[in-house]
Structure 1
Amino acid sequence: MQIHIIQKNGENCNNELESWIKKASWSPKVIHVDVPLRMKGGISIRRYAAKKGEPDYVHLTDHGVPVIPGSSLAGAMHHRIKTILNELVQDGIELPKDIGDIMNLSFGYVKDTQACASNIIISEAEIEGAKPMTMIRTGVSRFESGVKDGALYKERTYVDGKVNLRLQIRRSADPEEEKWILGILLLALKDLQNGYLAVGGQTAIGRGVFSENGPLLIDGEAGREEEMIAEILTNMAVNRGIEG
């Protein structure tokens, strides 16, 4: 079968069938994960006042829109995933690699002349529909952990907003490696959805806590995360030889 494209000048192009077949079998290089969230209170990822008359601390904004930086989200995910991995080891589950190797492979590293890019990519997230709230609070000495006499400061936070968290996981040449990276990430994301993982500062007073605001989507499909989490945990248990 010959497929030709006729150009305006009447000359035939090369046979395009082979390139079309290759495109038809193309697969994306990343897995897309979308996590709709609702803030249960305020959030505090602060910057210092940059203009006269502003509060002393203001939550980060981008062109006036409150945002959660990808680095803040990645830091929270990194800490929670490491905690989960340690708990799995304590429960007798054999991990596919050492915890340090898993963290380096998942979030990247730079060591001397060696480096690895993160396989989990988290984008900056806008907070939609949030209301600004300015509060005056008593200053605290970080050296004495006590109240500063007569010291007050203003802070502007944002409350009651919605966030659509977007993540990407790079596809791996090893399908099993790809599965467990996604699986442990989903465990942390479920904690975020259920309010067990807070993001940003002042979490001790309830900042940065979220609740579920719709189904978690994996490449646009809902309802897959429980199956994927169960599969990765089962495979680890089988490798250990402790499946019931």
Structure 2
Amino acid sequence: MNENKMNMALLFQADLVLESPLTLGNGQAEYSHKDLMLDKSGRPLIPGSSMAGMFYHYFSRHLEGEELAMLDQLWGSDNGDGDYTSSMIYFYDALYSGEWDEEQIGKRDGVRIDDSTKTARKMGKYDFQILYPGNRFQFKVEILLREKHKSLRGFAEKILRAIWELGRTGKVRLGGKTSRGYGLASLENGAYHSFDFAGHPDVFEDYVNHPWSFENNIQVLEAAPSEIGERVWNLLVPLVLNRSLLIRSYDVATWDVDARQLDNPDHHAVIPGTSWAGVFRSHVQKIYKEIVSQCTGQLTEKQQGMIQNETAYLFGIEKRGATGQKSRIIFDESADAEESHYTDITRVAIDRFTGGGRRGALATNRVTVDGHFNLSVTIDGPSDVEKALIYLAITDLCDGMIAVGGETAIGRGVFSLDLEKAEDYLKVVVDESQGWCDALLKHIKEGLGGK
């Protein structure tokens, strides 16, 4: 029998819907430091290579042994001695669907922080284009197996079901800055068609002429529990904004004030994952150092280095040259769950010598007040020590000891726990937080030289 003869084909398609802003660079910097990937007609495009890499990375983290080897076969591999296996799974470019409006492209900003001073680096300010949530794409994937790989049929079907389950539950993350809440997407209207060439060779013509539509007896994939176990840990914390919040938008096209709160196309106030990550990274280190200092009586240079390394292992290390590490903690973007209320506040800087206003120092800021936000924190393969540090930081956030955004020195960005919606969160921390904290103390005593 010809080993290269086609054995089976699986076609899967769905609607891909953005649940958070997407940043996916095209390698150019005409409108920002990182422009959005567009097709020749000027509409957004998600390359198949991005989706193939994302799904491979996810499955390689959650499979092991024989199934990990089968994953490499399915995606294609090179064993180093010239023996190549071509990929058997094909991700098509996801094309934009629906009516296109250029106003769906926005702009976000970021700043690179100096590790030693904890302040912005010189020339560290940058911006990038985003595609707003709610936009839809056509998602298509094809698996084609030949006779020599027919033993992978069951595994290929399992991977296809897992892709659908990830998408159905809104866990697909595409593009850049995915650990900071960007590129979160879901799949809707999932359907597939299978072609069994081994048992029905006459279906080859149907396969060649397949129209990639939801007609012609394409089977709808039903919801099913994932067969691939996840190692992630998630906390969802409902929060109430106690005062006001100002996270500045730098998209100045429609400004009528000097600074305004970042929002989404629905005009709901937004807290980007980058803001959450910066606040938590700094506060986790602070908590860790304080606990170690109390347990040991002092904080040595060696202990500070170990704390720095453990924090970097959780929050990631910026890539410089060939070195770097992806963050294992994900902070999703938070949008005001209800209609946001804004108010304009005018301030003036005072000259401390004259007691009068400084020249040109009058400014009006548009802030949001009395909002409701959900903080979502996800960690890949966490230890109890890491859970304890994040739990302690969340506790400080809910106690008003951490402020988020700008102008925190005058009371902005202070939150408390939304007790009316916190039942699930409280149940988790009441049952498990003591075990996390015990593990943290044990680690300090045994690993960091505590008493």
Number of residues paired by the alignment? 219
Describe the SS at the equivalent of 2:308.
Answer: helix
Q: TM-score, normalised by structure 1?
A: 0.76
Displaced runs of 4+ in structure 1, greater than 4 A? 23-26
User: Which whole-Å CA distance do the structure 2 matches of 1:44 and 1:24 have between them?
Assistant: 40
Q: Does 1:196 align with 2:406?
A: no
Quote the residue 2:368 is aligned against.
Answer: 158
User: Which whole-Å CA distance do the structure 2 matches of 1:72 and 1:117 have between them?
Assistant: 17
Q: Does 1:105 align with 2:307?
A: no
Equivalences for 1:23-172 in 2 at 5 Å? 26-48=228-250, 50-51=252-253, 54-63=256-265, 64-93=267-296, 98-109=306-317, 110-129=319-338, 130-139=340-349, 147-149=357-359, 151-171=361-381
- How many Å apart are 1:224 and its aligned residue? 3.4
Q: Residue deviations 1:3-62, cap 9 Å, x none?
A: xxxxxxxxxxx997xx99xx8874323111111110110011112472456111001111
388, 400, 414: which one pairs with 1:183?
Answer: 388
- How many Å apart are 1:210 and its aligned residue? 0.4
Quote the residue 1:210 is aligned against.
Answer: 415
Q: 1:30 to 1:156 in 2, by over 3 A?
A: same
Q: 1:189 to 1:47 in 2, by over 3 A?
A: same
User: Which whole-Å CA distance do the structure 1 matches of 2:443 and 2:375 have between them?
Assistant: 28
Long gaps (5+) in structure 1: 1-13, 173-177
Q: 1:151 to 1:24 in 2, by over 3 A?
A: closer
The structure showing larger relative contact order (alpha-carbon pairs under 8 Å, at least 6 residues apart) is 1
Give the counterpart letter for 1:231 in structure 2: D
Overall identity of the aligned pairs, in %: 28
Give the counterpart letter for 2:434 in structure 1: E
User: Which whole-Å CA distance do the structure 1 matches of 2:250 and 2:229 have between them?
Assistant: 45
Q: 1:241 to 1:66 in 2, by over 3 A?
A: closer
User: Which whole-Å CA distance do the structure 2 matches of 1:111 and 1:76 have between them?
Assistant: 23
Describe the SS at the equivalent of 2:392.
Answer: helix
Cα RMSD for the two superposed structures: 3.4
Contact 1:49 1:55 in 2 (8 A): no
Structure having the higher Rg = 2
Q: TM-score, normalised by structure 2?
A: 0.43
Give the counterpart letter for 1:162 in structure 2: H
